[in-house]
Structure 1
């Protein structure tokens, strides 16, 4: 009887050791931020680059790795990395690709590759640790009221983007321009155009009709509209060529 009890206890301990790594990986792949993670040093790693990658700092990394010489990192050695605010951690599993990982975190392949200094986005390895910036949904980022940055020529021009679904929206551009006549009179030119948009594979596209469409992007917190169609096709079309937009 005593032998049977000992056998059961031994099997319980062994099972716990087997399941522990699985539990650790599952937890780490969840949306966590802050805390620490164990990391294996790779070629070209430095405390500075790791700090930048994981939103930490050289000082913070050194403070919890006091026995590690930051100027003589050994490839294959393990260190403890502090995870800064706004970072999610993903442990790469067999079969993972950046294309599969990115949608899970509302990110993109290019953003994850750049954050983790990945030269070839098609080449990641099981066991790699990826730092992923928390991102708002793209539609959330572009929705709302925007105003022209060209206040001299297009003062009063606005763009309003209203969500209509998970990845669809309406866009309404109200163009307003004050034009000086030869006699020196100020004549306001106004126009309005409305379109419907979709977001697919991180591409933001809208269409007004069969002759007018365009793409939208966010750059340095500015809304950029790249328009495809005749410049003077419809009132409001000119403004897309002459301005970008900032939040109202």
Structure 2
């Protein structure tokens, strides 16, 4: 079954099996060849279930086609698909990814009782007054005074950061970590950022310049904004 040329190639790895489907052939043809190859595979009933990664190349498959592969590869063969790996994504997925990775610029003052929420990174040009709140699934940058509440990585991203021109928040939140006002200098701090320190297991305040080394995935635009 292994290493045979054709539409389907199956290779063993230390993590299980990797199944390559030639993206130049039709899906139906690929299914037929896969069924033929799997007919040669007769594991014993007490063998452990082997995880399978399906490499699709430049092919997109829909939920119905994924289900076909699940049923064909299924656990009766002591195999189980763990990952579908494709170079192609659906337009809706691409738009969602763009929304989650773009930085949104908002020019306003967030006053007491107001909440500003965003999917992706948020750049607020203005202040967050006491009693106001800003939150984002990504990073939060405040080009002004942060004196209210800021929540970055609200969907669980522990790598998210919060940065402000003047930081004296009533509360900082990153993912499920919370840090309240007593953690900061009484008079506030200028051009600082908050991020999770894994060694201390809490949110810490540090110089803005540390982001270039501690958060290497921050975009070029964000770096230019932070560095002036």
Do the two structures share a fold, i.e. TM-score over 0.5?
Answer: no
State which structure, 1 or 2, has the greater radius of gyration over its C-alpha atoms: 1
Q: Normalised by the size of structure 2, how large is the TM-score?
A: 0.27
Ranked by relative contact order (alpha carbons within 8 Å, sequence separation 6 or more), the top structure is 1
